[in-house]
C-alpha cells in the first residue's frame, strides 16, 4: 500500500491504460485514499488525468439529481459529472482531465470509495474505456467477464479460478474497450478480499487485518496485467444446494448482463458508445454459475463449474 506521504506528493499510476496522478491534500485524506489505490501499477508517462482529494467541497447543482445510488447523487452535464455524498458533505466533479473531490464531516474513506468509482467510470469513458463492476478471469481462449451484484460471489469465483490455475485480471473492477478482433478487457488492480470462511479451504493466506467482520484480504496472488480479448460473460449467484450449478444463457441475456455491469449506464451519452461493446461481449451467449451453499466445498465446486468452460 502506498505510504500517505506518497499521496501527499502525488503518485502517478495507470488505470485502464490511462496515466493518472493521485494526490491528497492532507494525511487524513491520504489514508482514506490509500486502500483504493493500493495495488494500482506505477506509471512513468506524463499523467492525462489529475485526481485530488481536499477539504474543500465543490459546488453541485440545485436541481434534482439525475441518479441516486444510496448516499450518492449524480448530475450529468455533458462532459462533466458532478457528485454529492451524504447530503453534500463530500462533493466532486469529474472531467476528461480531472477528478476533484472535497469535503468533511463523514467517514472520508467510505466517501472516497463511493465517489471515486463513479467519477472514474465517467473519466475512463471519455478516454474510450468503459468501467464495469465485474471481475475477469482468463484462459487461452480469452477473458470471461464475471458479473453480479455485491455479495453475489464474484470474488469467490475469481479465487476458485486462481486455485485451479487460471489467470485473473481483477475481482471487482474491469475496464473494457473496442479491439481489432472484438472487445478487450483490462483489470483495475485493487486489494483482493473474499469471504473469510473460504480461506480455510485454500492454501492462500490473509494479509494484514481482516477487511471487515466477514471478509479478509487475500495474500499470494497476482493480477494479470494488460488487455485481453473478451471471450464471454459469466453471471454468478448462490445455489440452495452444496453443489455449484452451471447453465448457459442466450446472447440476448448475455448482452443484458454486460450492460447491467456498466457503472455509468445511467448516463445516456456514455451508454450509447458502450452498447456495441456490450453486444460484442455477449454475442456468443454466456453462462450462469451458482455457488454451492457449503463453504467447505464451495471453491472446489466453483472450480468444477469453470472446468466445464475449458482449460485455464
pLDDT tens digit sequence for 155-208? 999 999 999 999 999 999 999 999 999 999 999 998 888 988 888 888 776 665
Q: Using CA atoms, how far apart are residues 214 and 259, in angstroms rounded to an integer?
A: 29
pLDDT score of 3: 61
C-alpha span between 168 and 312 (Å, rounded): 10
Q: What is the mean pLDDT of residues 196-221?
A: 72
* Residue 260 pLDDT class (50, 70, 90 cuts): very high
- Three-state SS for 30? helix
**In percent, how much of the chain has pLDDT > 90?**
82
pLDDT at 7 over 90: no
Q: Which tens digit of pLDDT belongs to each residue from 55-75?
A: 999 999 999 999 999 999 999
Q: Which residues contact 175 (CB under 8 A, 6 or more apart)?
A: 15, 16, 17, 124, 129, 130, 131, 132, 185, 186, 187, 188
Specify the pTM.
Answer: 0.94
Highest averaged pLDDT of the listed ranges 39-43, 78-82, 215-219: 78-82
**Among 94-103, 131-140, 238-247, 303-312, which stretch is predicted with the lowest mean pLDDT?**
303-312
d(C-alpha 134, C-alpha 114), whole Å: 16
Rounded-to-10 torsion of CA 196, 198, 200, 204: -90
Q: Is 134 buried (19+), middle (13-18) or exposed (0-12) by CB count in 10 A?
A: buried
Asked if 35 and 64 count as a contact pair (C-beta separation under 8 A), the reply is no
Mean pLDDT of 303-309: 92
pLDDT given for residue 221 in this prediction: 82
**Where does the pLDDT of residue 210 fall: very low under 50, low under 70, confident under 90, or very high at 90 and above?**
very low
Q: What is the pLDDT of residues 225-249, one digit of tens each?
A: 999 999 999 999 999 999 999 999 9
- Worst-scoring range by mean pLDDT, 16-25, 46-55, 220-229? 220-229
Please compute the mean of the pLDDT values over residues 36-40 and round it to a whole number: 87
Radius of gyration of the chain (CA): 19
pLDDT over threshold 70, residue 4: no
- Percent of the chain scoring above 70 in pLDDT: 95
Of the chain, the end-to-end C-alpha distance in Å amounts to 30
Mean pLDDT for all residues in the chain: 92
The model's confidence at residue 218, banded by pLDDT at 50, 70 and 90, is: confident
Amino acid at each position: 500500500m502506498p505510504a500517505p506521504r506518497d499521496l501527499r506528493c502525488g503518485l502517478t499510476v495507470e488505470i485502464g491504460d490511462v496515466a493518472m496522478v493521485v494526490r491528497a491534500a492532507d494525511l487524513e485524506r491520504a489514508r482514506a485514499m490509500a486502500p483504493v489505490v493500493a495495488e494500482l501499477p506505477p506509471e512513468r508517462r506524463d499523467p492525462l488525468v489529475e485526481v485530488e482529494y481536499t477539504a474543500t467541497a465543490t459546488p453541485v447543482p440545485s436541481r434534482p439529481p439525475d441518479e441516486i445510488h444510496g448516499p450518492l447523487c449524480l448530475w450529468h452535464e455533458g462532459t462533466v459529472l458532478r457528485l454529492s455524498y451524504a447530503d453534500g458533505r463530500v462533493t466532486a466533479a469529474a472531467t476528461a482531465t480531472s477528478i476533484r473531490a472535497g469535503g468533511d464531516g463523514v467517514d472520508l474513506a467510505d466517501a472516497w470509495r463511493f465517489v471515486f468509482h463513479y467519477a472514474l467510470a465517467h473519466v475512463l469513458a471519455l478516454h474510450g474505456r468503459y468501467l464495469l463492476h465485474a471481475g475477469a478471469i482468463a484462459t487461452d481462449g480469452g477473458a470471461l467477464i464475471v458479473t453480479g451484484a455485491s455479495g453475489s460471489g464474484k470474488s469467490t469465483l475469481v479465487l476458485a479460478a486462481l486455485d485451479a490455475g487460471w489467470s485473473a485480471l481483477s475481482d471487482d473492477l474491469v475496464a473494457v474497450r473496442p479491439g481489432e478482433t472484438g472487445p478487450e478487457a483490462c483489470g483495475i488492480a485493487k486489494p483482493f478480499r473474499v469471504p473469510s470462511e473460504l480461506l480455510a479451504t485454500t492454501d492462500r493466506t490473509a494479509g494484514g487485518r481482516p477487511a471487515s467482520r466477514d471478509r479478509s484480504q487475500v495474500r499470494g496472488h497476482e493480477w494479470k496485467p494488460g488487455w485481453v480479448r473478451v471471450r464471454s460473460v459469466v453471471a454468478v449467484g448462490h445455489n440452495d444446494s452444496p453443489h455449484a450449478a452451471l447453465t448457459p444463457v442466450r446472447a440476448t441475456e448475455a448482452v443484458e448482463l454486460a450492460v447491467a455491469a456498466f457503472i455509468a449506464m445511467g448516463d445516456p451519452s456514455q451508454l450509447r458508445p458502450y452498447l456495441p461493446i456490450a453486444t460484442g461481449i455477449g454475442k456468443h451467449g454466456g453462462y450462469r454459475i451458482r455457488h454451492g451453499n457449503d463453504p467447505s466445498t464451495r471453491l472446489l465446486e466453483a472450480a468444477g463449474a469453470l472446468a466445464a468452460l475449458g482449460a485455464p
